[in-house]
Amino acid sequence: MSQSSNNKSALIIIDPQNDYLPGGKYPLWNMETSIKQIIEAMDRAKAKGMSIYFVQHIAPEDGPFFQKGSEGADIIAALKKEAPDAKVVQKTYADSFEQTELNRLLKAEGIEDLVLCGMMTQNCITHTALSKTAEEYQVSILADACTTVDEMVHNIALAALSVRCTFRPTDSL
């Protein structure tokens, strides 16, 4: 997705995959609301000319979910439809930068600000936000466009992140 020449921000949507949906191998709390918020964030990002990235976790074939080539590992169709030209970066670790091309792609676009949202607040969102590589960027999190196993774990993770990241509501994007 092209960005405007003066926009140095990117929306990074972490692990928006089918296995987290109801009926998937590891359904998460509050998915319907989170998906709605992510779509709103995508709409706002597109209107501002921001780049949009999907980060897709791929597990080994014997992994508990997100197995390579499985429907569960696919990006949620409603989100993919919203931004069909978004770049997809595959990862195998919780940190979206670890052994991926994400940092190279962001640097190639001149990105300076990252806006994170997606799944597993206490795991992949946290590991990405606190990554050594993320220190090169201004990082904010759309807390209302993130989810995990339950509300308590989500809130604990956000409290832990508050010392290093800023939070913003989706409608401020």
pLDDT in tens, 71-103: 999 999 999 999 999 999 999 999 999 999 999
* Ramachandran angles phi, psi of 99, nearest 5°: 55, 40
Q: What is the CATH number of the domain that holds 105?
A: 3.40.50.850
Section 109-124 average pLDDT: 98
Give me the number of domains the chain comprises: 1
Q: Hey, what are 168's tokens? A: 């913003």
Separation CA 111–CA 51 (nearest Å): 9
8 A C-beta contact, residue 56 and residue 90: yes
Q: Where are the alpha helices (DSSP H) in the chain?
A: 31-47, 77-82, 102-109, 126-129, 151-161
Mean pLDDT of 60-80: 95
The model scores a pTM over 0.85: yes
- Do the domain assignments include residue 3? no
Greater confidence (61 vs 120) lies with 120
Please report whether residue 2 resides in a domain: no
> Per the domain annotation, does 121 fall within a domain?
yes
Write out the two tokens for 155: 């809130």
Residue 48 lies in a domain: yes
Q: For tokens 């409290």, what's the residue?
A: 159
Q: Name the helix (H) or strand (E) containing 167.
A: strand 166-167
Q: 156-168: per-residue pLDDT in tens?
A: 999 999 988 999 9
Q: 128 and 96 in contact (C-beta within 8 Å)?
A: yes
Domain that holds residue 85: 9-172
Q: Is residue 90 part of a domain?
A: yes
Q: Is the dihedral of CA 50, 160, 33, 119 positive or negative?
A: positive
Q: Is residue 34 part of a domain?
A: yes
